[in-house]
Structure 1
Amino acid sequence: MNTQVGDFDAMAFYRALDAERERKLLNWKQLSQATGVSASTLTRMAQGRRPDADSLAKLAAWAGLNPADYVDRMGRGPAEESLTKVLAYFRADSSLTKEAAVALEEMVQAAYNRLKNKN
């Protein structure tokens, strides 16, 4: 599927939601109960379908995600500034030592540079 400027990347949002669900040690049924979003909506999202606006708002609020971060602005996916944001999160994570944060930054930076599109 070709993306266009303004497209919502539902699968990227779903993966971020899934990561937060795992971090909180919840199963999908518990997530459904916690957010009021139906299990069928979550199943459809796992299949790549977009949630309705109310479900998106509930899930975003629960997970602390900004849906705008999943909108294609350049026709090529998230802006490179996303890497800067990710690295800042590692530095701000109180559960990581400074050395661990630096190690994660280096790994992510190397992977990003290797995998990013070179236009």
Structure 2
Amino acid sequence: MTDHFDSEAFYAALNAARLGRQMTWKEVAEQAGVNASTLSRIGQGAKPDVNGLAALLAWSNLKAEMFIRGAGRQEAEPIARITALLRADPKLSSNNAKLMEEIVLSTYNKLRDD
């Protein structure tokens, strides 16, 4: 089975979160910072755009990999995980995170080839 995003499961999970918080879909849209039409489209089976997905994941505290069939079969490459952690570190500015990433990648590539 190929990996793909399960919009139906994502919408069902969003609905459960919405009901648990006793909110309307309009309130979800406002709180998450997405258009109400985004939620309607997802409810009709459309896949969310990346910004809408990110906003709704943040609002619901759900993880994207929960809705990707086949995800989690293998771990990401260690260097990819390090890069993601550097970019997510709130103590680093975007430029400093990029600088750290360059240093780590350069060092990793040098040491890996030896």
TM-score bucket of the superposed structures, by smaller chain: 0.5 to 0.7
The answer to whether 1:57 aligns with 2:54 is yes
Amino acid at match of 2:70: R
Report the Cα distance in structure 2 between the residues aligned to 1:6 and 1:31, rounded to whole angstroms: 28
Q: When the two structures are superposed, what TM-score results if normalisation uses the length of structure 2? A: 0.60
Q: When the two structures are superposed, what TM-score results if normalisation uses the length of structure 1? A: 0.58
| CA displacement 1:51-76 (0-9 Å, x = unmatched) | 100000010011010011111118xx
Report the Cα distance in structure 2 between the residues aligned to 1:48 and 1:38, rounded to whole angstroms: 16
1:72 matched residue in structure 2: 69
Structure 1: 4+ residue segments shifted above 3 A: none
Amino acid at match of 2:25: W
Report the Cα distance in structure 2 between the residues aligned to 1:43 and 1:19, rounded to whole angstroms: 15
C-alpha deviation, 1:6, in angstroms:
1.3
2:14 matched residue in structure 1: 17
Q: Which runs of 5+ in 2 are unaligned?
A: 74-114
1:95 matched residue in structure 2: none
Report the Cα distance in structure 1 between the residues aligned to 2:50 and 2:37, rounded to whole angstroms: 15
- SS of 1:30's partner is helix
Q: Aligned Cα RMSD in Å?
A: 1.8
The answer to whether 1:27 aligns with 2:27 is no
**Alignment identity in percent?**
38
Q: Which runs of 5+ in 1 are unaligned?
A: 80-119
| CA displacement 1:27-72 (0-9 Å, x = unmatched) | 0000011011100110001100011000000100110100111111
The answer to whether 1:42 aligns with 2:39 is yes
